[in-house]
Structure 1
């Protein structure tokens, strides 16, 4: 059942309920008021007639009393009968043409000490109010006149019909007003429902316009805000998904490139050195067997070749993963890397350690090292910097890394635009490393103003570190 139908049925039920209450209550109130008013009027008439017939009764002029009673009955069709009872001679004067009804004389006697009494009688002619009145004090003579209640019932019925008509008019008016109000109220709700349905179908950014500052207007504003935020979130997720695909592709490409580089270096350098060493060993063995001169020189050359091969192998291993990071921790590994990479380029280094240094979880140390490695690589390749400042701050619940240079900087918004096919995946990789560990990475840069990278990662220390002083160039 639709909301508009529920509203109309509710209003219709309320109007019917109130109308029935109004008809019932009004009819009862009016009927009581009319009965009271008519009863007073009838009692006044009985009093007047009693005063008029008092003297003829005292004079014993029964004929005059009879005529006066008949005149009272004939003057108004609602006056059904009249009779006088309690006369000393036991005489009964009445207006019944077919004889006095049996039992009527004892139905409504005036109580002793009272002047009047009233009682409603149910007869063949309908409801009749019998009004009795003691004619004279000290005498038992009573005057009774019967009044038809048809006029009161007819007036009450007319009033009830009028109230019912007014109720019908009110119902129709209320329904018309309810229909107009339901349209005015439900139209924005219908728009909102349609917008929600379209939003559920994937039409992001769907908005609704509702005039006014009432609850519906506030609901529309909240919906528009929700729709806008949802669109921004979906767009962000789509952008992140695209970045992840690019990053994954970059990682796979980098893995293959790294494998090719390692294989090439092993083949071109280490393999050749080992081959030369093998040839030299064979030559030395031959000369030793023939006891020729110059064996010592050949062995010395072979020793130098072995040392060179070891250096090449160590360099390849350090490029893959510095053993200092596993053996001594993050700070010595960073110091070695920064000195090895920056000093040959002439870039001045300022490396500082703050807080309470200590060994961290392996994944945290690896992340800090790789982020620093990526940042320094970008500085060497693109920044044209003269100075680089690297700072590590060890706090009780987190570690902060800052890498700052005075290079050329770049336009962050333009570079990170999703439409830019040459987005720096290194920055995306650094951010992803920090995000995977529950941290955050922020890049601040502008053209001509250098670049600042701030990393915050949550940590828990494992082993104490004896401390390390910063050093300048």
Structure 2
């Protein structure tokens, strides 16, 4: 219910007089509507009952008069009587009779309606209340009567209800007029009564507005007694109390208000400083909190000049604040740095105002110690910068970029996080030659144009590269890149920090960032830069590993393709040798056997000679077959082991080419796991093949050593040698697929491979495989 009242109060007019008028009008309108509805209902009910009684009587009388005429089928008499009834009764709209033979006699001037008999159902003998029909002439009530028993003859009379409807409309208009007149009268009475009732309230509202405008001496004069009189008396009493309170606070209102506002804004320490006369600038009052912030007692500060308790760098700021207060200008809180008696620096948030104190103008100085808050803010800012810088490196590491793009991304993100503009990274290449890897600064200078400005590694960055210790370098050194950059671009750079970039336990680069402030690289900043340098080293190491992995995957794919081609070539070679060698020899044996068979019948003395030739041919065929089998996999490897197979293969390949072979193999070598023996034999096969094809060696050394859990094979020659890194980077036939195949086989078995070679110094291949395969 309360929500309903609130809703009504929200949408009703605000003035009380208007509400009274609206209430009375609604009451009068409601009474008029109810009265109109009740009177209309009673009037219609009474008139309709009278119409039904009249219709029943008229129909019954007409039926009695027409009974004989209908029985005798005297339709002329029937028509005359029907016309007479319509003429003599104004409410009768029509009358018609249905003769026993079905003919209809009616009074319709335009012809009998075709649908009328269908709409009027069969009726009882009496007239009843009639049937209400809606016609073009309004509502018509049809009364029916059968005057002849057992004979299908009917009399119908239609009475109009237009008189009832007209009378009802007239009554309604009359009542609406009365209601409207009542509304006008009620509105006038409500307005007059409302003016009388709300006049005291209007007077109170007007006087309250005057009181709010500062007219404190005016009062409300209303007759005493009643609720309005009590309200007027209470209002006058409140005005008296307000006037007295305002007079009591008038002298010190502004000062107290400013004091409370400033104290709530800054709080804690409060001091009063003289603003005029001989006491100008002196401390007249300090509280315990203010003295504690300076490490003193309150009595030790009284009488001192306020500027004497501040360090020189804070005096100027405080003087501007006090000058603004003397001139009555609004001031904002400012931060001052002070030093207490124990030498500790404190950060104070200060604010002030000017008040009257003991009859003179003074400056109120508020101070709050925010040293801990500033330290937390600085630590949080430094921590955010650290996280941003490390996150930038981590994001770059997660993108698996090439090293050059990785360095560019990392340096840019780190400088953005540290809010610096100039930075660079110097690195050592694979030949330990220094170069400028990346530069970030003004866009008009690219890396090639910047290389001439760097003396790396002769400068201090080179010293960081050598000893691995970070350093802060001033821009006064002529060999420093910052000195040259500042001279060339006119940038106010004063120093730069250089930190090492370790990769794989060795310092392989230096990260340098330049700043415009000598205090930019404090201990915390340098620790952050060292961490960033370590992260960059990890990122580069990961990038190199990714590059190595991609290179190995590419080589593995190429090896697989070459292996498939080698398999097909080997199959082709075996097929060719079987066809050209073994196949021809077997065909010769078949021809020889045919010759022996023919000689048995024609020349038996030739049989022994032919058989001898067949034996020789069969022996050669067996040797050819054994050679093919040994090339595929020597049976010595399965029968006698790795050592004998190596010695046999060495005699067949190297000694046959006048290459002296020196074996360094223990006397008693146990049989190794089959997969290890096979791998070592294939590795030795490839190495010996390379010696035969490329080395041009006169001496080879083969060493086999057994260690706990490991077996080591070393093959060396005194040939022309090569550069292993160039072989790895080559393509096509220059890549060294045989050595790469050895490396792939060793890595699959979990072993290690090392190649030592140089032009003119021979080659040494060392392979270590785990005994567990």
Query: Shorter-chain-normalised TM-score: which range?
Result: 0.5 to 0.7
**How far apart in 2 are the matches of 1:418 and 1:186?**
47
1:407–1:449 Cα contact (<8 Å) kept: yes
> 2:676 maps to what in 1?
364
1:70-120 deviations in whole A, cap 9, x for unaligned? Answer: xxxxxxxxxxxxxxxxxxxxxxxxxxxxxxxxxxxxxxxxxxxxxxxxxxx
1:391-450 deviations in whole A, cap 9, x for unaligned? Answer: 111223211111111111112222221567620010011111111111111111000001
Deviation, structure 1 residue 285: 0.7
**How far apart in 1 are the matches of 2:732 and 2:603?**
71
CA shift in 2, pair 1:419/1:217, >3 Å: farther
1:355–1:394 Cα contact (<8 Å) kept: no
> 1:316 maps to what in 2?
628
Aligned pairs (5 A) from 1:166-181: 166-167=266-267, 169=333, 170=349
Out of 646, 668, 674, which is 1:334 matched to?
A: 646
Out of 517, 539, 553, which is 1:227 matched to?
A: 539
CA shift in 2, pair 1:202/1:458, >3 Å: closer
> 1:459 maps to what in 2?
771
TM-score (norm 1): 0.60
> 2:725 maps to what in 1?
413
Out of 592, 595, 598, which is 1:286 matched to?
A: 598
- Unaligned segments of structure 2, at least 5 residues: 1-240, 242-253, 268-331, 334-348, 352-367, 416-512, 514-520
- Unaligned segments of structure 1, at least 5 residues: 1-124, 126-153, 462-473
> 1:377 maps to what in 2?
689
Secondary structure at the aligned position of 1:358 is classed as coil
Q: Does residue 362 of structure 2 align to residue 164 of structure 1? A: no
**How far apart in 2 are the matches of 1:303 and 1:164?**
124
CA shift in 2, pair 1:243/1:377, >3 Å: same
Deviation, structure 1 residue 201: 4.0
Out of 386, 408, 414, which is 2:698 matched to?
A: 386
Deviation, structure 1 residue 185: 5.5
Q: Does residue 398 of structure 2 align to residue 200 of structure 1? A: yes
**How far apart in 1 are the matches of 2:384 and 2:730?**
42
Aligned pairs (5 A) from 1:27-106: none
**How far apart in 1 are the matches of 2:264 and 2:668?**
90
TM-score (norm 2): 0.37
> 1:253 maps to what in 2?
565
**How far apart in 2 are the matches of 1:221 and 1:258?**
53
**How far apart in 1 are the matches of 2:399 and 2:709?**
44
> 2:637 maps to what in 1?
325
Deviation, structure 1 residue 458: 1.4
1:137-167 deviations in whole A, cap 9, x for unaligned? Answer: xxxxxxxxxxxxxxxxx99998765432324
Structure of greater Rg: 2
> 2:554 maps to what in 1?
242
Moved more, 418-427 or 283-292: 418-427
RMSD of aligned alpha carbons:
3.7
1:186-230 deviations in whole A, cap 9, x for unaligned? Answer: 456445444544543443432234554444323322321121111
2:393–2:539 Cα contact (<8 Å) kept: no
**How far apart in 2 are the matches of 1:420 and 1:185?**
53
CA shift in 2, pair 1:204/1:180, >3 Å: farther
1:355–1:393 Cα contact (<8 Å) kept: no
Q: Does residue 713 of structure 2 align to residue 401 of structure 1? A: yes
Q: Which has the higher contact order (CA 8 A, sep 6+)?
A: 1
Q: Does residue 589 of structure 2 align to residue 277 of structure 1? A: yes
